[in-house]
Structure 1
Amino acid sequence: MSAGEAGQIGANAAEAVFVERFPAGVFETAGAVGKRWIQVEVSQRDGVLVWRIDGYVIAERANASAFTAGTIMLGTMDIFSSIANPKADNFVIFDNVRVVDLASEAQLATVRVEASDATGGEAGADSGTLVITRAGGDQTKPLDVTCRITGTAMAGVDYQNIPSTVTIPANESSATITIQPINDELGEAVETVTLTLVNGPGYEMRDAVSATVEILDDGDLPIVQVRAADAYAYERMSED
């Protein structure tokens, strides 16, 4: 069965959708969850079976049969690369395994992020804009969304600091993050600010889990420095 037929978002850890969601840690492979604790959830609601890893929907497919009873099966088989070499040394530690009746659980909101203005610049204090939106869930309550900030631009140096937790207010479906460049006197290439949604209570993530704003320089001339590779020279004596 292909990844699409199984309802998976990708066939294996090398695909961009997994690399974006699971960046490489130290001595790890991008796209694989690696050697760390993760939250895995398999749920069935309204005839739809969903598999989530750290809040990201990894696979989803229709399942007409009702779940009334069954056996929990724990194993190490998954679609990701082995974390061990040789593969026989692969291992998984399970902790805090629970079975929950979803009838008593609130529906999760689905959050996504997009760049409504993907370009900012030092000239004229031109800002960029990211928008986090939610659909579903209880929108009468505020929702805190956790973010990871990366990119080639440095917070506090190239742009004003932005929070790593963004709150969507009660009775609102979105929140806006402004990327405000800081004008300096350095001639620089285009720099980037990337915001990626990460796991948090009350929401899940499907598509559009990251967005990027580019920061353009205002035309400052590059700074040129001259440094001696060898700062010492000697005059040879005639008898040398």
Structure 2
Amino acid sequence: MTDEFKSFRCRSGFSSPPCYAAEVAPEYFDPLATDPEQARDVARWRKAERTRLRATRFDLSVTERNDIGKALAGHLKQVLQDRFDGAWDMVFSAYWPIKGEPDLRPLMTELHEAGATVALPLVETKAAPLTFRRWTPETRMVRGDWNIPVPPPDAPIVTPEITLAPLVGWAADGYRLGYGGGYFDRTLAALKPRPFTIGIGFETAELSTIYPQPHDIPLDLILTEAGIRAELTIE
């Protein structure tokens, strides 16, 4: 644990753990896999960072967010072209933007029209891996978990070969700070073969570390409006 984190811990006056049901799924931390006190400390630190980083991105103007979304879409198209020949014949999972996230819906439509199978992730079972259902521009969306628009129950279930992971924060070692429920980590651990996973976030959301825990899974690639910012190297 770094001196910075120890200092944060002392300043915060940590004591008994409060309930973080809105931010962290309580079963997400495995007491057998890591020190329970450290897990609570990390959870508190991450909760504070989520609040700070979301406030930072909400401070951006609509024009600034639109410009960032366009830049990210351009970088993502280049990655798909360079590494997957455009991904036109692949299953590509995106996300529906919420809480000021970069809006890549125009690219979703472009990929669909080029022949890709586009999907969106859904929480259909609490504390379980995500389900992916097919999306098209004609899909009549319904309200899913956390009131996020999702494809309806009769939309086909698909298995993604490439998936996007929206980032609240990110670190140069490829780890992602998400919203705290652990769904993406559970999903990546469960899918065989694992899809190529691209984190999408803001350049201002970089962290020196997220203090990775045993359940955290690094992403294959992290993109911001500045381009590729982290890449997992397989030895």
Shorter chain as denominator, the TM-score bin is under 0.3
Q: TM-score, normalised by structure 2?
A: 0.23
Q: Which has the higher helix share?
A: 2
Q: Which has the higher strand share?
A: 1
Pair member with larger Rg: 1
